Amino acid sequence: MPELPEVEAVVRTLRPLVLRRRIRCVHVFHPIATKPQTAGFVARAGENRRVRLLERKGKHVLLQLDRGLLTMHFRLDGQLLWFSNAREFLKRANQGENGVHVDVGLELDQGVLGFVDRRHFGRVHAWESADECPGLVGLGIDALSTEFTAPRFRELLAESRRPLKEFLLDQTRVAGIGNIYSCESLWHARLNPRRRSNTLKREEAGRLHKAIVSVLKRALECCLHPAPDFRDPAWWFQGLEKILRVYGREGKSCRRCGESILRIAQGGRSTYCCGRCQK
């Protein structure tokens, strides 16, 4: 699932392609991608609107229009594709073996942006304002924002009795962290993912805050070099596996102490941790 670094890399790469462009029309090939909104509602909301601002909030992509906004959430497997023009787009979108899967297409006055999710978990929605979007209104502090300070993070931890891993996945507390980078941050901070959040001492909370920021910034750099290639349907972020220290390494030696990495279940997700050096 794309997390904050991946979505931020997408936004930074996409910005020069769509900023100040006019959306001529919105093609909705698979209406499930706009549910619970109707395909017609989303299409009408985007038609003839100009993209005024492109930004990220948590794991959401926001296209601020001259009236209203469109939001995209990739969920598990969503991604974006770029087509040079409408002719190429209509020739390739969902056209048999030689075509590419596209759920929603934003036909701009220069180029076409396609939203793709073969498993149909991702969503494209339209809103009059960000205040109308429940997913945005409920977001906590963005993990790479200036508001995400060590003192504020300590306050949030002190208010919660949830296990650390589950706390970090709660987007209403800190927005943008997912399963991969929560595991990585806890490993770097040497903290047990099952510890209750409100049991952390001041030094431990500071260590975790520093680890979160460092892990996310390093992952973002990796996601930007090389940058996403929206022209390639098979593109995905390269080299992330080189920076991972614990995620997906069940049974392998901890790179800090040599103990075997464990995989445990927390909140329906797999958590990877070291049973020796994460306390």
The CB-side HSE value for 178 (13 A sphere, CA atoms) comes to 15
Asked if the bond preceding 226 is cis, omega within 30° of 0, the reply is yes
> Is 151 annotated in the active site?
no
* List 49, 57, 59, 249, catalytic entry: 59
- Residues near 122 by beta carbon (within 8 Å), at least 6 away in sequence: 33, 72, 73, 74, 75, 76, 77, 78, 103, 115, 116
Is-catalytic flag, 3? yes
Q: Which of 12, 195, 256, 269 is catalytic?
A: 269
CB 246 within 8 A of CB 184: yes
Question: Is 269 assigned a catalytic role?
Answer: yes
List 2, 5, 163, 228, catalytic entry: 2
Question: Is 163 among the residues known to form the active site?
Answer: no
Q: Closest Cα partner for 231 from 75, 111, 76, 97?
A: 111
Residues forming the active site: 2-3, 59, 269
